[in-house]
Amino acid sequence: MSRYIATSAIRGAMNIAREADALLQKALQDKGADAKVGFPNTAYFLPTILGLTGRKVETVGDLVPVMEQIKTYLHPVPAQARWTPYLGETLDGGVATLLAEEVLMGLGFLYGDQPEKMPGFHLAQAAASFTSPEFQKDGDGAGNLNGPIDDIQLRSWGIQLVDGRMPGFAAVVGCAKSNEVAVKIIRELQRRNILIFLAGNVNGRSIIHQLQEEGIEMGYDTYIVPFGTDTRSAIYALGFATRSALTFGGMKGGQAREILLYNKYRVFAFVLALGEVDDLKYATAAGAISYGFPAIADTVIPEIHPTGVTQYEHVISMPFNEIPGKDDLERAEKLVQRCIEVRGVKIKMTEVPIPVPYGSAFEGEVVRKADLRFESGGKHSRAFEYLYSLPMEKIEDGKVTVLGPDLDQVEEGGHMDIGIVAEVAGRKMQEDFEPVLERQIHHFVNGASGIQHVGQRDITWIRISKAAYDKGFRLGDLGKILHARYHADFGAIVDKIQVTIYTNQADVNTMLQVAREAYNKRNVRLANMVDEQVDEFYSCTLCQSFAPNHVCVVSPERVGLCGAYSWLDCKASFQINPTGPNQPIPKGQQIDPVKGYWKGPVDFVYQNSHQQVENVSMYSIMENPMTACGCFECIVMVIPEANGVMVLSREDTSMSPAGMTFSTLAGMAGGGLQTPGIMGVGKYYLTSKKFLFSDGGFKRIVWMSSVLKQTMPEELKKAAELAGDPDLLAKVADETICTEVPDLVAFLESKGHPALTMDPLM
Amino acid sequence: MAKEPAPKVQTIDPAAIEMLKIAEAKGYSTAFSRAAKMAACPIGESGACCSICDMGPCRLVPTKSNPDPVGVCGATRATVAARNMARHIAAGTAAHSDHGRDLIFTLQAVAEGAAQGYELRDLSKLNVVAGYFGVKTDGKKPEQIAGEIAALAIGDMARQKGTLIYTKRAPKKRQEIWQQLGIAPRGVDREVVDTLHRTHMGDDQDADHLMLGSLRTSLADGWGGSMMATDISDILFGTPSPLVTKVNLGVLKNDEVNIVIHGHEPTLSEMIVRVVSEPELIDYAKSKGAKGIALCGVCCTANETLMRQGIPSAGNDLNQELAIITGAVEAMVVDVQCIMQAITDLSSKFHTKIITTSPKVKITGATHIEFDEHHALDIARQIVRTAIDNYPNRKQTEIPTHLSDLVPGFSHEYIRYMMGGVLRGSFRPLNDAIMQGRLRGIAGVVGCNNPRVTHDQAHNDIVKEFLKNDILVAQTGCGALANAKYGLLLGEAAMEYAGPGLREVCEAIGIPPVLHLGSCVDNTRILTVLSEMASEGGLGDDISDIPGVGIAPEWMSEKALAIGAYFAASGVYVLFGVNSPVENSDDVTKIMSEGWEKIVGGKMEFVPDPAEIVRRSLAHIDAKRAALKLPAYDPGKFGKSGDWRMRELLKQPLQERVNALYGMPVAAE
């Protein structure tokens, strides 16, 4: 600290603690000690309080001991002369501030003040989003800022946070010099795929106002989350950080030191303070510093360069007007650059030579009907994409051809059929990698601002916005994106790539036939690819950066629990990075083919879980089930009364027959802990022949979130047929049918569900 | 080379200068005047005298005709120098450890409920210490835990075989070195006895072997008696944390009953601290015409109460006689160690009563009120009453006005806390600062006063040089007081004396550039800090890897030699000023320097010139940095952060400040 900051921060801590105490006393009177307190859609109560104190706050009364603890963290402000040390005391004050802010926010929900109201405000949110906070259910969130991030969103961002696609988060607090600067700062952060949290104001004006005035979409899908226009709402960022340690790090509430160090070493976040820094901002920043998150201000404030609590400098002042640059935009760019240096965020930037901004942050962008310049796929036209390999000499690297009319020849809002065909070559290229690479097109194309991509193969659907078109985006740019990204991300297996975009109807039809034959061939190959046929499985320890003791074992018939890594993906990834997180695991001696024990995986998991997981079965939920990090798509859990299992999707926020929501259950399934009877899995594993192979298979499913039934009906139907009961799905309950065990059993009996007569599970 | 018996400039302490003028005018004898009158015995000073048996004493002074003299028994210069040194170290170890023993017995008495006035004040430290001793704490009452700790600690004092429990607190690698060399200490008493035995006439007569044995004995002090003394003092009287207090003779009060506590142990002094605020005693003082009772200390008892309660200090060891010369001291209450016999004679010229309290220590002419921890409060009250009764006898007083503020209280627990708070406290920031070169290294500058060199001068010269070179200084004992008198133990001193990197670190944490860690037994806090730094990572994996040094510029006591030896045995380069007590033997000089460095990584050298001490220290620190592959020290890279910019801005007119916020209005003042 510096004495100036220490003085401000401790003063700020005292004031906010006093305020929290006053509101708590009021709530005890108004609402009573038993009134419920909590954030929506989280299993972590008030998460910062849970993490740092171990207290599970459910009622107003539960806040009383929290308040007492807060007071023990308050120390006097340092003297003007003859001062005693203040750094430890200031950091304590920071912790007190965070706890007090969360007390205020928890009570804010009780009083209906949170999330903050902002008339006319809409959160950006694609139709496909499954992450809507409860309060947004009515009217698309109109008039509310975001408030705390829910567990579902945290988990769905999990894989991106761990694989480096999302390098970290920025808590941007205050108000930028101008709207133009605000937008530039946000764009610069987005370009680097940094998650952006917004809070605070300067003299009543917040960056949230600035972005809203400039028409910037804010919400989960644009990676810009507006928490609130007051400083205290920045606590939601720290709550997010705390929960990432609880969710992915396998930590328990109360392991404060471990949680804070987890964040210091694994979560790359920083605070960017725009405009004047007042006492509460200093105090909140002091709290963030305990997490290892440095603070950067764009005004004159004291700097703290010695390191240790944070990895690099603690506090940096970069007075905006003094930043060298030809204009404010360049200054904003340099400011963001400095933030990234200070936190030591490693960012791999791929320059994609197209006329619109490019970055993962734009992946969630939606092109609305009103903004639409062109679309292909969907109701009115067809788009497909196809990638295959050729010998090296057949390919001219970087060549992009558009065969047929380009966008200029299509009227505004119009459509036409297109085919995107990518031909790749590489010394290490294998035919098996073709589908792995092909599936990347979705995520590559989506990175372009103003371009929306949905689906894959011949159900592709691409939309291009007017803004992108006006900036000069044309179909050939799709090829340029693919060229740049395949080289950057898959350079180890792709040496050359050329792309042809077909827009002539006849060509599209011809190529579509070729592609469909290839799709079929690949389907057959995939269907025949079974665990028995291969000699090695693959590990996935990608998530160990977040969940240090978890190891995924990925086999042809068991996709990684995040759904993102199939056996083939892992194989390709190993080729790309031989020392990376995906390593071949020789199966070794078979111990039990039914439960799925092989010596290789058992040894590998024991070693790589740091001796935490002693044994692992591939096919059983009851005996040594595979562990999970926190990114799983579904939770499978035994319902003993029904002699079967339920499958709860992470997109389902409702109650389940287990008496818990996904968020609560996820705490039991994740963190690398082995709990018989509960397992986190990828949703396509449900349809595998090896799903619960030793426990009775697909027929054990007695309850399933309806969203699964809706989003993968074909696959589930096929699995039911394979299980020998084509009508099985009709016998499986969901949350619209029942969420209580007695109702479930009654339903199963009425339908004659096979699980009821199977061997006892337990 | 003819040497003056004492320096021309006796002291740099302005209060001491004032008092010495009075002493000279009135013809009072002081350590300063006696040192000037009596040159140090040149034979004993260099370690050439052997008085171990009655065939001598032998003087092994080389001459042209006999360049390599031996004693009557044939003992060589090396044997004699080593044997003398070994005995000094054993005596120092005995003194520190016996101090520790008294505290252990007090802890045991508290556990038994038989220690009037004492309590287990720091329960969290009790639990930590229980952890060191392997005492299970679950479901046990604190008294029971304390009892079990005391029993194990007494056991370690008397341990005959195996290794002292506390040595496990050293880095793993360090413990292995001790085991391999066979110098892992057994019981404290056994090591002292071992040294006394093997230095008896006709025993160990191999300098290498004698000095190796000395290392083991010294370890029984540092990682045994002293360390237990520190820990148990914290349990009984509280673990120190920073506070503001004052030092130097100016703390004596003209209109209050002045009680000066002097010596080393906190057991009695803490009880005196308690009773002087009792209304009955204050009223009693008033009944004698005084406005109240002013308690202060000198030497290390003062450091104990300074660290914990901020009781002011009248100065370091050489200030003991000078305090009496003020004529304002009603009683000087002494316990053990570093108490000059001269104070009784000197006090007879004033009304001052010298009160001895330790069952071990009586001084001819002093009043003896024997201390017993079972009746501590009653005895403390009796002592205070005796002092009050003496107030009406006070005559003319000459109290110097000189005094300085200081911020002491840096226990290793607080040092850890101050670098991260309750939840993030660690040594990471300290290691980071050294690794980056923001701090060049660290130094412990400790030890005594010695009238053979200018009082306080070497302490200040060396420390200021270190600060300029971005070296963070840790201090204990009289050395800490020597620097405190000149304002170096204040946050403000970082702004004035520190190099750019050290200034940043001090400003970031709010610390003085010189940290006061306690009394001389509390040098073990420095050992703990070093162990924690080694295990934090980034600075190697042993104490000997850390870029640091230990200095005793004005040493005089045998305890200082024991401390020096245990630091060397722990891997630290230790430099002593004044003169070399092994000067007569090049072999022993070499053993303690190159020889020790080879086997334990630390060494002990005697270098009279403070400038040379600094030069060697910097060279050593830079060599350690290089060995760790750390960037070379470059102060130009640091010093940019801090409050300075903000302070400048706040001095600017409103418009400037508005501009700094890029045109947004500044919040109303």
Q: What angle do CA B596, B598, B604 make, to 5 degrees?
A: 30
Is B263 found in the same domain as B233?
Answer: no
State yes or no: pLDDT of B1 exceeds 70: no
Is B152 found in the same domain as B286?
Answer: no
Tell me the pLDDT of chain B averaged across its residues.
95
Instruction: Give the whole-angstrom CA distance, residue A213 versus residue B597.
Output: 70
> How many domains would you assign to chain B?
3
Q: Check residue A347 and give its pLDDT.
A: 64
Instruction: Tell me whether B505 touches chain A (CB under 8 Å).
Output: yes
Taking an 8 Å cut-off on Cβ atoms, the answer to whether B421 and A87 are in contact is yes
Instruction: Tell me whether A294 touches chain B (CB under 8 Å).
Output: no
Among the partner-chain residues A92, A260, A307, the one whose CB lies closest to the CB of B432 is A307
Burial readout A509-540 (b: 16 or more C-beta within 10 A, e: otherwise): eebbeebeebbeebeeeeeebebeebebbbbb
Q: Does B568 fall in a domain?
A: no
Is B287 found in the same domain as B226?
Answer: no
Cβ contacts of B664 on chain A, cutoff 8 Å: 175, 202-203, 275-276
The answer to whether A197 touches A166, Cβ cutoff 8 Å, is no
Residue B596: pLDDT band by 50, 70, 90 thresholds? very high
β-strand partners of B258: B294, B329
Q: Which two tokens stand for residue B348?
A: 């007879």
Instruction: Give the whole-angstrom CA distance, residue A164 versus residue B460.
Output: 53
Domain of B176, CATH number, reads 1.20.1270.30
Is B97 found in the same domain as B24?
Answer: no
Q: Which two tokens stand for residue A108?
A: 């804010």
**Complex ipTM over 0.90:** yes
The answer to whether B271 touches B377, Cβ cutoff 8 Å, is yes
Q: Check residue A344 and give its pLDDT.
A: 75
Q: Does B218 fall in a domain?
A: yes
Burial readout B194-227 (b: 16 or more C-beta within 10 A, e: otherwise): bbbebbeeeebbebeebbbbbbbbbbbbbbbbbb
A 567-596 near B (Cβ less than 8 A): none
Q: By residue range, what is the domain housing residue B99?
A: 77-237
B 241-260 near A (Cβ less than 8 A): 242-244
- Distance to chain B for A163, nearest Cα, Å: 27
Q: Does B621 fall in a domain?
A: no
Cβ contacts of A92 on chain B, cutoff 8 Å: 421-423
Q: Check residue A106 and give its pLDDT.
A: 96
Which residue, among B438, B439, B661, would best test binding to A if mutated, counting the most A CBs under 10 Å from its CB? Answer: B661
Q: Which amino acid is at B170?
A: A
> Could you tell me which of B471, B450, B400 has the C-alpha nearest to residue B246?
B400
C-alpha dist (Å) from residue B244 to B311, B453, B489, B490 = 10, 30, 10, 9
Residue of A nearest to B487 (CA): A82
Is B329 found in the same domain as B200?
Answer: no
Instruction: Give the whole-angstrom CA distance, residue A123 versus residue A600.
Output: 48
Q: How do residues B113-147 score in pLDDT, each as one tens digit?
A: 999 899 999 999 999 999 999 999 999 999 999 99
Decide the pairing of beta strands A552-554 and A315-317.
unpaired
Cβ contacts of B646 on chain A, cutoff 8 Å: 2, 4, 300-302
Q: Which two tokens stand for residue B358?
A: 């330790």
If residue B263 lies in a helix (H) or strand (E), which one and from where to where? strand B257-263
Cβ contacts of B433 on chain A, cutoff 8 Å: 306-308
Q: Does B255 fall in a domain?
A: yes
Instruction: Tell me whether B57 touches chain A (CB under 8 Å).
Output: no
Instruction: Tell me whether B72 touches chain A (CB under 8 Å).
Output: no
Q: Which amino acid is at A579?
A: T
Backbone angles phi, psi at B582, to 5 degrees: -120, 20
Residue B241: pLDDT band by 50, 70, 90 thresholds? very high
CB atoms under 10 Å from CB of A68, counted, come to 10
Flag residues of chain A having pLDDT under 70.
1, 125-142, 159, 162-164, 345-349, 545-546
Q: How do residues B350-366 score in pLDDT, each as one tens digit?
A: 999 999 999 999 999 99
Is B183 found in the same domain as B217?
Answer: yes
Q: Does B230 fall in a domain?
A: yes
Q: Does B628 fall in a domain?
A: no
Taking an 8 Å cut-off on Cβ atoms, the answer to whether B433 and A307 are in contact is yes
State yes or no: pLDDT of B390 exceeds 90: yes
Taking an 8 Å cut-off on Cβ atoms, the answer to whether A87 and B492 are in contact is no
Instruction: Give the whole-angstrom CA distance, residue A582 versus residue A603.
Output: 16
Instruction: Tell me whether B563 touches chain A (CB under 8 Å).
Output: no
Among B393, B409, B428, the domain boundary falls at B393
Which residue, among A84, A207, A210, A299, would best test binding to B if mutated, counting the most B CBs under 10 Å from its CB? Answer: A84
Q: Check residue B264 and give its pLDDT.
A: 95
Instruction: Give the whole-angstrom CA distance, residue B650 versus residue B653.
Output: 8
Is B295 found in the same domain as B190?
Answer: no
φ/ψ region of B585 (left if φ > 0, alpha if ψ in -120 to 50, else beta) reads beta
C-alpha dist (Å) from residue A761 to A700, A756, A758, B638 = 9, 10, 8, 67
> Could you tell me which of A523, A514, A532, A492 has the C-alpha nearest to residue A619?
A532
Q: How do residues B601-647 score in pLDDT, each as one tens digit?
A: 999 999 999 999 999 999 999 999 999 999 999 999 999 999 988 88
C-alpha dist (Å) from residue A738 to A655, A753, A756 = 9, 15, 17
Instruction: Tell me whether B635 touches chain A (CB under 8 Å).
Output: no
Instruction: Give the whole-angstrom CA distance, residue B647 versus residue A301.
Output: 9
Is B145 found in the same domain as B102?
Answer: yes
The answer to whether A442 touches A455, Cβ cutoff 8 Å, is yes
Taking an 8 Å cut-off on Cβ atoms, the answer to whether A275 and B664 are in contact is yes
Is B51 found in the same domain as B123?
Answer: no
CA B25, chain centre distance (Å): 33
Q: Does B484 fall in a domain?
A: no
Is B154 found in the same domain as B109?
Answer: yes
Q: How do residues B187-235 score in pLDDT, each as one tens digit?
A: 999 999 999 999 999 999 999 999 999 999 999 999 999 999 999 999 9
Is B107 found in the same domain as B42?
Answer: no
Q: Which amino acid is at A268?
A: F
Taking an 8 Å cut-off on Cβ atoms, the answer to whether A290 and B421 are in contact is yes
Walk across the sheet containing A584-586 and list its strands.
A552-554, A536-540, A584-586
Among B176, B203, B237, the domain boundary falls at B237
Is B21 found in the same domain as B92?
Answer: no
B 476-495 near A (Cβ less than 8 A): 490-492
Q: Which two tokens stand for residue A651?
A: 């997109």
Instruction: Tell me whether B294 touches chain A (CB under 8 Å).
Output: no
Walk across the sheet containing B548-552 and list its strands.
B514-516, B471-475, B441-445, B548-552, B573-576, B603-606
Q: Check residue A247 and give its pLDDT.
A: 84
> Could you tell me which of B446, B517, B386, B524 has the C-alpha nearest to residue B103?
B524
Among the partner-chain residues B423, B433, B662, the one whose CB lies closest to the CB of A306 is B433
β-strand partners of A386: A421
Which residue, among A185, A282, A300, would best test binding to B if mutated, counting the most B CBs under 10 Å from its CB? Answer: A300
Q: Does B518 fall in a domain?
A: no
Among B237, B265, B296, the domain boundary falls at B237
Which residue, among B424, B438, B515, B655, would best test binding to A if mutated, counting the most A CBs under 10 Å from its CB? Answer: B424
| Segments in A324-432 forming alpha helices (H) | 328-343
Q: What angle do CA A58, A62, A67 make, to 5 degrees?
A: 130
CB atoms under 10 Å from CB of A250, counted, come to 23
